[in-house]
Chain A
Amino acid sequence: KQEVTQIPAALSVPEGENLVLNCSFTDSAIYNLQWFRQDPGKGLTSLLLIQSSQREQTSGRLNASLDKSSGRSTLYIAASQPGDSATYLCAVTSGTYKYIFGTGTRLKVLA
């Protein structure tokens, strides 16, 4: 059974710091992994999708890596800004039809 863990549950950093968010999963037989951002009271916004054959994806200040064999993904945020404050969730495919979500890391970037 696929399980997804995100550590830490919460993180506070000063503005300008580079940071890494972690996602681990138990079953390496995945099609892809997605990273999402969720603002309070809002839905999830897809940030990056990494296919199982890829090692990383980049979008602006965001870089996500995938190591299927070890069941790990990281989301790297460069030069963090207060506007990056949100909850970040990862999700991996499980079976043929669904995603399994982690419970997220709540990030606060202090001005």
Chain B
Amino acid sequence: NAGVTQTPKFQVLKTGQSMTLQCAQDMNHNSMYWYRQDPGMGLRLIYYSASEGTTDKGEVPNGYNVSRLNKREFSLRLESAAPSQTSVYFCASSEAGIRSNSPLHFGNGTRLTVT
């Protein structure tokens, strides 16, 4: 049982390049999330998907797009990377939304550097 799997683990991009961060969960969870973690700022929600076929913006969506490909997979795309997007990106999932009191399960993160 792998839980939440993120690829790649590390990535270096040049300003203006694009890339897609992949996330997959094998727990049959309905809700999936993308967070970024920056020193001194905690984790901030970029986008979330309450269920298959739906996506919504979080706190810091600018510069990102997402796709909920199916129930298992939720990808995050940077169309034109900027140095301000240097961060650690975490994907998380939960059985249902926050009102359901189901815990969040996190992947191990993607460490992205934009030069």
Contact = CB atoms under 8 A, between A and B. Distances in A.
A97 B48 contact: yes
Interface in A54-111: 89, 91, 93, 96-104
Contacts of B98: 31-32, 93, 96-99
Contacts of B44: 101
B4 interface: yes
Interface residues of B, number: 26
B103 A103 contact: no
Given A34-B103, A98-B48, A43 B109 contact: yes
Contacts, number: 66
Interface string A30-52: 01101010000111111001010
A101 B92 CA distance: 14
Decide if the interface of chain A is mainly helix, strand, loop or mixed: strand
B59 to A, nearest CB: 7
A14 to B, nearest CB: 28
Contacts of A104: 42
A82 B92 CA distance: 27
Nearest to A48: B103
Nearest to A95: B98
A21 interface: no
